[in-house]
Each structure stands twice: as C-alpha cells, then as structure tokens.
Structure 1
Amino acid sequence: MRIGVGSQNPVKVAAAEQALETLPGAVVESVRVDSGVPEQPRGLDQTVEGAENRARAAYQSGPYDLGIGIEGGVAELVADDYSLVMWAAVFDGSRFERAAGPSIRLPDRVALRVRDGEELGPVMNDEFDRDDVARSEGAIGVFTAGAVTRQSALESAVSGALGPFVSGQY
C-alpha cells in the first residue's frame, strides 16, 4: 500500500510512519503540497480544511492508495483562551476521515502574540530561544516538558483518521 503524506516536515512524516507501523507493506512517501490555508491556520475549520487539502493533494499526486494531511493551528476553544490544535485527514479518493490530536492552552504571553497576528512557530522560537521548534519537539513538547512530543501528538491524530480505513469497524 502506497501512502502519500502531504508534507516535507520530518516530524509529520515520522508521525505518519509510526501510525502505519502495524499495517504490513505500507510505504510512506513525503509529498510537497500546498495546504490552501494561511501559514498560521486559525480556528478549527481552517485547521481541518488545511489537513483535508493536504490529504487530497497528496493522494492526487500519486498513484497512492491513501493521502494523509496533517495541520496544526490555533483556535479559541474556550472564550479568551487560545489553544494549539492539530488535525489529520486521510483521503482514499472518495471519502475523508478526520481526527484531532491533543490540544493545549497557550501561555498568555504566547497567546497574546498569536492573537495579534504572529505565527506560532516564530513566536515559539523567540519566546523560548529555540531554533525551529516545529521540526522538533513542537509547542506541545515545550508546554508539556516533553511528556507529549509533536510527533506523538500528530501520530495519535493520524491513527484516529486512519482507523476507519484499517480497523474493519466502519
């Protein structure tokens, strides 16, 4: 089974590979695609749309059996609190399945900058004196002191979106 992942971010590709580890013969390939949403998706709708767009574009760049899209964003889940959110979508040419990864409230100083229009990745690098947090532990890794990594969080989202395709329960 050939699977295209709509990203060249090594953390996203590794998350998809881990989620597919129990599927014999799965071959995962990274595919450069456009999310079709802003660099910093805002709100659940925009984040899910980005994941779906990536999954569709990856699938269509095939031939692939499945396309996987992963998108991280920020959303106001509770009034006046911004949270990091992550979604995965899987597309088989006719249907989408979607699942969320964990979300976590952003610290006030980060949330204020994001609310004012900055992108989370550069804010994280600046606030925590890091280089390219998005390609390593991710914001969730920083905010959980490593208890949850970006890869493990994205892996759970991908596993959930894959479930209907691989479990035989749907």
Structure 2
Amino acid sequence: MKVIIGSKNPAKVSAVQQAFANFQAKVISTDVPSGVREQPFSDDETIEGVVNRAILALETGECDIGIGLEGGVQESSSGLLLCNWGAFVQQEKPPIIAGGARFVLPEEISQRLRAGEELGPVMDDYAKKTNVRKNAGAVGIFTSGLVDRAAMFSHIMHLLIGQYIYRQNDE
C-alpha cells in the first residue's frame, strides 16, 4: 500500500507514519495546496482544505491513498475554537472525513486571528519560539505539552483508518 500525505509538516507526517505502522504501507509526503485560506476560519473551510489536499496528494503519483490534515479555527459562543480535520481519499470512493479535539483559544490569540493573521506565526510570536506549527503546535503550548500536534493528528488518523477498515469489511 502506498500512502501520500499532502503536507511536508513533520507533525502531520509523523501522525500518518504512526497510524500506518501496523500496515504494509509506504508513506510519502508532498506539498500540495489546500485551496482555502492560509488560516481556515470554519469547520467547513477546514474540511474543504483537507479534502483538497487529500485529492491532490492522491493525484501526485501512483498511490492507493491520499491523506489531508489541516488545522483551523471555528467561532463558537464560548470563543474561537482550535479545530483539526483529516481526509482519507481513494480512487472512485467518497472521502472519509474525521475531526479531532477542540479547545477555546485565549482571547489575545483569537483577536489576532480575527484581524487576519495566521495561527502559526501568531503562536511563534506568543510562545517566543520558531516553527511551533511543525513541533508542539498551539495544542502543545496550551496543554503544557500534554498533547502535541502530532498526537492530535494521530487521533484523527486512527479515526480515518478505522472508517477505512470498516468500509473494507462492509464491501
């Protein structure tokens, strides 16, 4: 089985590699555009981005599965929520979609995102670190390292693979 993830982000690639560790799978990463804003601002936009990435990943080479993973934000009555989505795409089958954990971002972060900034650079500035998005992620910063970005995406990958196995068994 050959799997292509539509990102070179180490946290995302690690999550895919870990999720396919018990399969006879070769995981390859490639940069493909999401087709949505750099900072997706709703569940729908984030889902559109992961499906786009998964489809484009699938189309980049001869492979069996395309994967898209994306972080975004979603307005709620409690504040701006961090959200994360994933898509699993195969030829001639509908995408499999799954979402992950959510939490309310601090208002000082939310204000900057609402003003048009992207979470990655905002988190670098806030945490006084470089490439937060490629390492712990906002989730790692705001959970004191108890959950990092790779773990969060790993959970989504297990949801996707579980649905894939269910679909295989149901056919």
TM-score by length of 2: 0.94
Q: CA deviation at 1:163?
A: 1.6
Match for 1:39: what amino acid? E
Q: 1:101-122: CA deviations, max 9, x gaps?
A: 1111101111111111111111
Note if contact 2:19-2:158 (Cα within 8 Å) is conserved in structure 1. yes
Match for 1:26: what amino acid? A
Aligned residues: 168
Q: Which residue of 2 aligns with 1:118?
A: 117
Moved over 6 A (4+): none
The Cα RMSD (Å) is 1.2
Q: 1:75-103: CA deviations, max 9, x gaps?
A: 11x22500111000000012200101111
5+ residue gaps in structure 1? none
Distance in 1, matches of 2:169 and 2:122, equals: 41
Distance in 1, matches of 2:161 and 2:49, equals: 17
Give the alignment of 1:11-160 within 5 angstroms.
11-23=11-23, 25-76=24-75, 78-79=76-77, 81-94=79-92, 95-160=94-159
Q: 1:104-158: CA deviations, max 9, x gaps?
A: 1101111111111111111111112111100110000001001111000011112
The percent identity for this pair of structures is: 39
5+ residue gaps in structure 2? none
TM-score by length of 1: 0.95
